[in-house]
């Protein structure tokens, strides 16, 4: 099956699932999610865990049919798969085919996955929707036990102010660093449901988005053990204005300049 056929099948199946009533799903009341590893579990376990997250957290109101778009082709009933990576792949596919409805649902699934993984590791912030910003600011993210903060910045938008935090993604490896970026809304006192994943090795440095630049510089600061934010410094000295979160995706920066400047300091 070529890519065009796959994308068409993905789009068609999702449209069919949109017409499937969520009322037909069985509510999960007592799932022991602490035993389910979303990086290595069966599709049945994955669906059960995500159903639990959806039923207990109104902010993750994705359609049940969305989970079928994450299910691998020729999925074996007892096969173990990394559904966090599969979800990211499905998000990329939704973006390629221009299915924004599916993409929004998948972003909610990603948020639910992160919540479930924090529960599994005993994260002190189980209910992110009620996490106080003051408490968040007063704690070292290393206290979580599963996350290590690489860098952070604050963006003041038209209607809200956000704290942007970069941490290592669960799939990150020494030879291939992957950064996860989350946004915390001060106005709503909660995290935005979606997260962004940046593969440091795959960034096109000549035309990186500001989001990619933030991930790259945060990783650089982490390696060099710098306490000052390189991203904040570059934004200030380059005269770049960030007026909303959208600017992090629409504006660009040449990371080759950053590399050149830092190579002279070495």
| pLDDT tens-digit series, residues 236-266 | 888 898 988 889 999 999 999 999 988 876 5
User: What average pLDDT does the segment 49-59 reach?
Assistant: 84
Q: Which of 65, 91, 120 marks a domain boundary? A: 120
- Residue 261 inside a domain? The answer is yes
If asked whether residues 146 and 91 sit together in one domain, one would say no
Asked if residue 146 is part of any domain, the answer here is: yes
Q: Give the pLDDT score at 259.
A: 93
Task: Please give the residue that has the higher pLDDT: either 26 or 181.
Answer: 181
Whether pLDDT at 121 is above 60? no
> What is the pLDDT averaged over residues 37-47?
90
Provide the CA 190 distance to its chain's centre, in angstroms: 15
Whether residue 215 contacts residue 179, with contact meaning beta carbons closer than 8 Å, is answered with yes
Backbone angles phi, psi at 75, to 5 degrees: -65, 125
Residues 152 and 227 grouped into a single domain: yes
Residue 128 included in any domain: no
Same domain, 146 and 110: no
Name the residue range of residue 85's domain.
3-120
Q: What pLDDT score does 205 carry?
A: 92
CA distance readout (Å), 21 to 8, 17, 49, 66, 262: 22, 8, 19, 12, 55
**Domain identity same for 157 and 202:** yes
Take residue 131 and report the two structure tokens written for it.
Answer: 């996490």
Q: Are residues 23 and 51 in the same domain?
A: yes
Show Cβ contacts of residue 202 under 8 Å, excluding neighbours closer than 6 positions: none
Alpha-carbon span 58 to 129, nearest angstrom = 10
Least confident of 4-18, 62-76, 88-102, 221-235: 4-18
H/E segment holding residue 230: helix 230-238
pLDDT above 90 as % of the chain: 20
Asked if residue 146 lies in contact with residue 38, where contact means CB atoms within 8 angstroms, the answer is no
Q: Span 69-84, mean pLDDT?
A: 88
Are 168 and 147 within 8 A, CB to CB?
yes
Both 147 and 240 in a single domain? yes
Predicted model pTM = 0.48
Q: Are residues 115 and 8 in the same domain?
A: yes
One domain, residues 174 and 205: yes
Q: Which residue has the higher pLDDT, 240 or 138?
A: 240
189: left (phi over 0), alpha (psi -120 to 50) or beta: left
Q: Tell me the mean pLDDT in the region 137-162.
A: 64
Q: Is residue 239, in this structure, part of any structural domain at all?
A: yes
Number of domains composing the chain: 2
| Same-domain pairing of 206 and 236 | yes
pLDDT given for residue 28 in this prediction: 52
Classify residue 133: in a domain, yes or no: no
Residue 203: predicted pLDDT: 93
- Residue 119's pLDDT is 63
pLDDT of residue 130: 38
Are 114 and 195 a contacting pair, CB within 8 Å? yes
> Would you say residue 249 lies in a domain?
yes
Name the more confident of 91 and 151. 151
For 135-141, what is the mean pLDDT?
38
Q: In this predicted structure, what is the pLDDT of residue 57?
A: 80
* pLDDT tens, position by position, 200-244: 999 999 999 999 999 999 999 999 988 888 999 999 888 898 988
Q: Is 114 found in the same domain as 19? A: yes
What is the DSSP secondary structure assignment for residue 77, as one 8-state letter? T
Quick one: what percent of the chain has pLDDT higher than 70?
Answer: 75
Mean pLDDT of all residues in the chain?
77
């Amino acid at each position: 099956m070529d890519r065009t056929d796959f994308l068409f099948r993905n789009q068609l199946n999702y449209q069919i699932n949109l017409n499937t009533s969520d009322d037909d799903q069985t509510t999960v009341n007592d799932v022991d999610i602490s035993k389910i590893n979303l990086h290595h579990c069966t599709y049945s376990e994955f669906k059960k865990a995500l159903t639990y997250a959806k039923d207990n957290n109104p902010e993750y109101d994705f359609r049940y049919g969305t989970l079928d778009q994450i299910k691998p082709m020729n999925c074996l009933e007892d096969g173990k798969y990394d559904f966090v990576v599969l979800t990211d792949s499905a998000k990329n596919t939704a973006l390629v085919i221009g299915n924004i409805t599916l993409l929004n649902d998948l972003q909610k699934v990603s948020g639910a996955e992160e919540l479930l993984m924090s529960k599994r590791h005993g994260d002190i912030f189980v209910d992110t929707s009620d996490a106080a910003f003051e408490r968040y600011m007063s704690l070292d993210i290393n206290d979580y036990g599963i996350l290590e903060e690489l860098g952070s910045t604050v963006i003041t938008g038209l209607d809200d102010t956000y704290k942007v935090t970069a941490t290592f993604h669960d799939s990150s490896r020494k030879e291939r660093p992957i950064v996860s970026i989350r946004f915390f809304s001060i106005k709503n006192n909660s995290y935005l449901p979606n997260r962004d994943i940046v593969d440091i090795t795959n960034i096109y440095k000549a035309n990186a988005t500001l989001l990619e630049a933030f991930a790259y510089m945060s990783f650089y600061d982490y390696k060099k053990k710098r306490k000052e934010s390189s991203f904040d410094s570059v934004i200030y000295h380059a005269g770049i204005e960030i007026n909303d979160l959208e600017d992090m995706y629409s504006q660009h920066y040449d990371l080759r300049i950053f590399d050149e400047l830092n190579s002279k300091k070495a």
